Structure 1
């Protein structure tokens, strides 16, 4: 089966960590939880370092500092009303899958957070990838109702993946 996620590792620590497998598993878990087919969608994940994500954060969010994960949906998919789930995207074909967008994840920040929160690094990274994929699908956490919806989904998806509640 073709991978759902195209993974690019600018930082070799991500390759050794197994980012490609974690990203594919997280994305497939999100799609399954939302009753979306695995075939017909694609997304890209960039495994980078704090310097690279700080530059991206500055360019796209005007925040000149590193962050753990960033996402760029291929199109606006947000819900019409606060607290409502966004409409699911239509899948493409196996030969021409629908791109959901791109995610970037930073090594140093993710590992420091996992250590500070006393969580296994793989679990923390899986959570951040699930979080990023949900953003690509139009979920957000700006309003309290939206945050509750997104966090509830994350907890359910992570449980299905064998990851403890991150909250």
Structure 2
């Protein structure tokens, strides 16, 4: 159960969690036994807005975006599934993550962990948009993973 995590911080933000914590949270959400990789990119408001507009047609930056890797025809024809191990990319918008943590009265590290777990589950095919049953399954998985990391249920109010 190995997940290679590449962390990108193109704006050199200083308030992001330590690389080892980001890697720990991502690996906790990796549910497969095969080796895989993921890119986690931390961006500012401008890039977050641009990506959310381009890919979701929403006119605001969001906390986390998941971009599953889609192999090319060549890769599908010539490589085994185990060799395709890249899950995709997660993009987290630092100002949104920090603002939401403050608004929700929760430790910012807990919110980072929740969003990384949430995004990794999306990359593995979990979804919460299409049905309440799928949303409940995904939420339960998130709560269990965060509990294993010693963090509280992110869906319970801290007020």
- Measured after TM superposition, the shift of residue 63 of structure 1 is 1.0
TM-score (norm 2): 0.83
Task: Give the number of equivalent residue pairs.
Answer: 145
- Structure 2 alignment gaps of length 5 or more: 72-79
TM-score (norm 1): 0.79
Q: Which of 50, 54, 63 matches 2:58?
A: 63
Partner of 1:86: none
Larger radius of gyration: 2
Could you say if the C-alpha distance between residues 45 and 18 of structure 1 is closer, same or farther in structure 2, counting changes exceeding 3 Å? same
How far does the alpha carbon of each residue in 1:102-158 deviate from its partner, in whole angstroms, 9 at most, with x for none? 000001110010001111101100000000000000001011111000000000000
Could you say if the C-alpha distance between residues 7 and 21 of structure 1 is closer, same or farther in structure 2, counting changes exceeding 3 Å? same
Partner of 2:29: 30
Partner of 1:42: 37
- Measured after TM superposition, the shift of residue 18 of structure 1 is 2.7
The equivalences for 1:1-167 within 5 A come to: 4-13=4-13, 15-31=14-30, 34=31, 36-37=32-33, 40-75=35-70, 92=82, 98-142=85-129, 143-167=131-155
